[in-house]
Every structure is written in C-alpha cells, then in structure tokens.
Amino acid sequence: MDAVMNFLESIFRWLHVLFGILWIGHLYFLNFVNANFEATLDAEAKKKVIPELRPRVLFWFRWGAAFTWITGVLLLLLVYYHGGALFDKGRSWSLGAVLMIVLVFVSPFIYDALVKSVMKELRTAFIAGLILSAILVALFEHLGGFGIRAYAIHLGATFGTIMAFNVWFRIWPAQQQIIRAIKDGQPVDPALVALAGLRSRHNTYMSVPLLMLMVSQHAVTWIGFGNPIAITLVVLAGWLLVYHLYDRAAQLKGF
C-alpha cells in the first residue's frame, strides 16, 4: 500500500507542477505582456487580434487552473489528510482542524464578498490581504493544530482555491462577453473590463507567495517558517516583487 501511495503522490506532484506551469505561465503572459501589447492596438487591430488570440490563451489558462487545483487537492488528501503530515507529534484531528480545512475551501466566497464590499481598491486589498494572511496562519497553527509545513501549504491552498475561483467564475465569464463585443464591433462594458482586470491582478499577486509556499515544503527550515509573522513577510515580499514586475512590464516597448 505504501508503494502505491508513493507512486500516486509522485504522479500527482508531476501533474500539479505541469498544470501549474501551464496556468501561471499564461497568467503572467496576460498580465506582463499581452495587456501592454493590446493597449498599443487601434480599434480595427483589436477587432482582428483579440478574438483570435485571447480564446486560445484563455483555454490553456482556465484548464491549467482547473487541473492544478484538482491535483493540489489530491496531494493534500494523500500527503496531509491520509499520510499524517498535517500535525506535528502530539497533535491529532480535532473540530478545529476540520473547521480550518473547510475554511480553505469556502475561502473564495468570503474573498468574493470582501472584494465586492470593502476591498474594491487594489491598495486596500493589499493591506487587508496581509492582515488576513497572518490571521489565517495563526488560526491554522493554534485552532487547527497544524504543523509548520501544513500551515504553510494550507495558506498556499487558500490562495490557489481563490485564484481558481477567480479564473472560472469571474475572469472567464467576463472575458467571454468582452471578446464577443470586440468581435462584433460593439462597445465593451467597462465594468466587465474592470472586473476581469482586477481579479487577474489579484491572482498575479497571490501567485508569487503561493509558489514560495509550495517550494517551502522541501526547504522549510532555512526559510524560517516557524511562526505566522515569517509567512506573512514572505507574502509581503512576494507582493512587492509583483508590484515591481508590473512597473517594469509597463516600461517595456516593442521595436
């Protein structure tokens, strides 16, 4: 049985990384390359280019997101919930642990409500996101009783679940309407553009600390993931890096 579990874990890790590259690679293309490129096109060029380009990109983008999330959940089941890596020695399953796992999977609905009400501006979301990340990790540790690696990856799982929700239920539906309007030569609803753009930016910001939280599973000691403050600093560093990348991307020009 152990051999079977190890085999499945290896396959799921491989697929998780593969689909993650597919997803996040297209996310970065859309945010750091394509957004600035499309801004240089006139109306006629947009009518020709966007209906051909975006559906192709968004196909790999959304299905990469779906299978990254699915394989990530399978890894959580195998490694943490079945494999016993969720707790340090002396800790075991409790109501608090179950509640924290449920919270990971309902987090998109909480996030969505917050963005629609009090986190409409990117700066507000940035600050609130840092505070909520610190609170969430503290709850994973103290209420859920999770070990260091477990609460690091469950913060990553929270980000990833929110990101996949954004892709399928906010970005893709909005983009379908935007692309059809451009193809038909109709005015594009600014609210749809703002919605898709904001959620795509949120995903880009969450993706960088998410990648670090994944890597930390193999080098958790040197990064100092010994408390919620350390992980919050990793989130902050990741978000500052993304801010710099957006600034740099806007300065790049074609020939």
DSSP 108-159: HHHHHHHHHHT--SHHHHHHHHHHHHHHHHHHHHHTS-B-HHHHHHHHHHHH
User: With bands split at pLDDT 50, 70 and 90, how would you rate the model's confidence at 222?
Assistant: very low
Q: Report the pLDDT averaged over residues 151-166.
A: 96
Say whether pTM exceeds 0.85: yes
Please report, rounded to a whole number, the percentage of residues in the chain having pLDDT higher than 90.
82
Confidence of residue 220 (pLDDT cuts 50, 70, 90): low
Instruction: Evaluate if residue 223 carries a pLDDT over 70.
Output: no
Whether the per-residue pLDDT at 162 is higher than 90: the answer is yes
Q: Show me where the domains of the chain are located.
A: 2-251
For residue 35, pLDDT over 90 is answered with yes
| Mean pLDDT confidence for 95-103 | 97
CB 72 within 8 A of CB 160: yes
pLDDT of residue 108: 98
Segment 117-136 shows an average pLDDT of 93
